[in-house]
């Protein structure tokens, strides 16, 4: 791409042109030529709230995100972008097609933009790419960005460093596991949702979550526990209101924003480092070195980064 083409693409992006946005996302997603230049010249609006929605597989996150976006578009007349991040390991295939199908109801709504992002198990790739694409969305004139990610392993912890507000979704059946749920996921939540509350056990789980929350020291925000039925829209308005309140409260805490920015910078920096030429054959070199007698991982890495 010539600098001139990039300049014109960026101009369209900043005017909110959806096709230019889709093009920029693809370039960044694939690390194509021109992507670095694009990222260095965008003007993301830092006041745009990013909402992370995470939770176990099948909890109804996509249905919830879709309902929330629909509600916001209809009642608040805001432009919403949805980014469905699939942190699927390189060994399994994701459910992206499913996500797309469930959100088809919005295909003709110009106020809602939907994009899936497969991460292909790239080293350090999930959050850096998500950060970059979120910044493209912030530059493209949306009023709110919703990021869905499946809560498996690290991904939900990572999403918390991207999102201004993190919503953790459970289902009534999660109740039995709640005692064993990693404290990590409890720590990152700004809001809990018990989705599928048309099913038995929802109230019990709500109470159990509230009990757990009471044991925590107050930090300026009372974490709400909400019940939703995503596919019929029950609880969606309250969810929006609570998200909105959290945005107001956390927006006043500059340390919160600073910490998020720092976390994002760390992830981008480490990914940029890994993109450097000397890491091109990192895996092959590592495996080769590890086969030698006396291999030491720390010495190997020290030599690599020195
Ligand atoms: N009973 C009930 N089913 C729901 C509700 N919300 C979603 N579902 C159903 O739950 C299933 C999974 O929904 P998804 O929205 O794909 O869940 P998800 O968490 O995005 O799934 P992954 O992205 O694969 O982790 C679908 O069959 C939905 O129709 C709800 O409130 N009640
Ligand atoms: Mg989903």
Q: How many domains does the chain have?
A: 3
Same-domain status, 59 and 157: yes
Range of the domain at 23: 1-43
9, 51, 125, 209 from 117: Cα distances, Å: 21, 16, 11, 31
- What is residue 41's predicted lDDT score, i.e. its pLDDT? 96
Q: Which atom of ligand 1 is nearest to the CA of 59?
A: 19
What average pLDDT score do residues 39-49 get?
94
What average pLDDT score do residues 25-37 get?
92
Same-domain status, 1 and 145: no
pLDDT band, residue 94 (cuts 50/70/90): very low
Same-domain status, 15 and 51: no
Q: What is the pTM of this model?
A: 0.88
pLDDT band, residue 248 (cuts 50/70/90): very high
The DSSP-derived string for 150-167 is E-STTHHHHHHHH-SEEE
Same-domain status, 249 and 296: no
Q: How far is the CA of 85 from the centre of ligand 2 (A)?
A: 9
Q: How far is the CA of 3 from the centre of ligand 2 (A)?
A: 37
Using a 6 Å cutoff on CB, does residue 195 contact ligand 1?
A: yes
Same-domain status, 69 and 136: yes
Same-domain status, 150 and 10: no
Q: How far is the CA of 98 from the centre of ligand 1 (A)?
A: 10
Ligand in closest contact with the CA of 95: 1
Give the span between the Cα atoms of 205 and 58, in whole angstroms: 17
- What is residue 152's predicted lDDT score, i.e. its pLDDT? 59
Return contacts of 295-300, CB within 8 angstroms, 24+ apart: none
Query: Looking at the predicted structure, is the pLDDT value of residue 38 above 90?
Result: yes
- What is residue 21's predicted lDDT score, i.e. its pLDDT? 97
Six token digits for residue 208: 């159990």
91 versus 245: the higher-pLDDT residue is 245
Same-domain status, 168 and 285: no
Same-domain status, 154 and 229: yes
- What is residue 95's predicted lDDT score, i.e. its pLDDT? 47
Query: Looking at the predicted structure, is the pLDDT value of residue 201 above 80?
Result: yes
* CATH code, 259: 3.40.50.300
Using a 6 Å cutoff on CB, does residue 95 contact ligand 1?
A: yes
Using a CB cutoff of 5 Å, list residues around ligand 2, an ion: 61-62, 99
Q: What is the mean pLDDT of the chain?
A: 86
Give the span between the Cα atoms of 172 and 115, in whole angstroms: 29
What average pLDDT score do residues 161-189 get?
80
Residue nearest to atom 13 of ligand 1 (CA): 60
Same-domain status, 163 and 283: no
- What is residue 97's predicted lDDT score, i.e. its pLDDT? 47
Same-domain status, 242 and 196: yes
- What is residue 153's predicted lDDT score, i.e. its pLDDT? 57
Query: Looking at the predicted structure, is the pLDDT value of residue 39 above 80?
Result: yes
- Decide: 106 and 246 in contact? Cβ < 8 Å: no
Residue nearest to atom 28 of ligand 1 (CA): 60
What average pLDDT score do residues 26-32 get?
90
Same-domain status, 24 and 78: no
Six token digits for residue 121: 């198990």
Lowest mean pLDDT among 91-95, 115-119, 147-151, 156-160: 91-95
- What is residue 305's predicted lDDT score, i.e. its pLDDT? 82
Using a 6 Å cutoff on CB, does residue 229 contact ligand 1?
A: yes
- What is residue 276's predicted lDDT score, i.e. its pLDDT? 76
Using a 6 Å cutoff on CB, does residue 56 contact ligand 1?
A: no
Same-domain status, 60 and 169: yes
pLDDT band, residue 90 (cuts 50/70/90): very low
pLDDT band, residue 102 (cuts 50/70/90): low
Query: Looking at the predicted structure, is the pLDDT value of residue 268 above 60?
Result: yes
140 versus 187: the higher-pLDDT residue is 140
């Amino acid at each position: 791409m010539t600098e001139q083409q990039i300049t014109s693409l960026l101009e369209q992006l900043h005017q909110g042109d959806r096709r230019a946005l889709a093009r920029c996302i693809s370039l960044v997603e694939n690390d194509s030529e021109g992507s670095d230049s694009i990222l260095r010249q965008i003007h993301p609006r830092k006041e745009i709230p990013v909402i992370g929605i995470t939770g176990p597989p099948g909890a109804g996150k996509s249905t919830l995100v879709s309902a929330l976006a629909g509600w916001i578009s209809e009642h608040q007349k805001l432009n919403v972008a949805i980014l469905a991040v699939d942190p699927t390991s390189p060994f399994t295939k994701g459910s992206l097609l499913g996500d797309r199908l469930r959100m088809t109801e919005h295909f003709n709504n110009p106020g809602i933009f939907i994009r899936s992002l497969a991460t292909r198990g790239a080293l350090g790739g999930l959050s850096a790419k998500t950060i970059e694409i979120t910044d493209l969305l912030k530059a493209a004139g949306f009023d709110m960005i919703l990021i869905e990610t499946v809560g498996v392993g690290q991904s939900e912890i990572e999403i918390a460093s991207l999102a201004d507000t993190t919503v953790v979704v459970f289902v009534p059946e999660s109740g039995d596991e709640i005692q064993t749920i990693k404290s990590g996921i409890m720590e990152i939540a700004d809001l809990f949702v018990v989705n599928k509350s048309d099913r038995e056990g929802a109230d019990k789980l709500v109470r159990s979550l509230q009990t757990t929350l009471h044991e925590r020291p107050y930090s300026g925000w009372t974490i709400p526990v909400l019940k939703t039925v995503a596919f019929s829209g029950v609880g969606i308005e309250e969810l929006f209101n609570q998200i909105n309140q959290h945005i107001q409260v956390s927006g006043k805490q500059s340390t919160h924003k600073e910490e998020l920015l720092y976390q994002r910078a760390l992830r981008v920096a480490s990914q940029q480092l890994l993109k450097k030429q000397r890491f091109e054959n990192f895996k092959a070199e590592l495996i080769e070195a590890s086969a030698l007698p006396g291999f030491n991982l720390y010495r190997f890495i020290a030599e690599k980064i020195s």
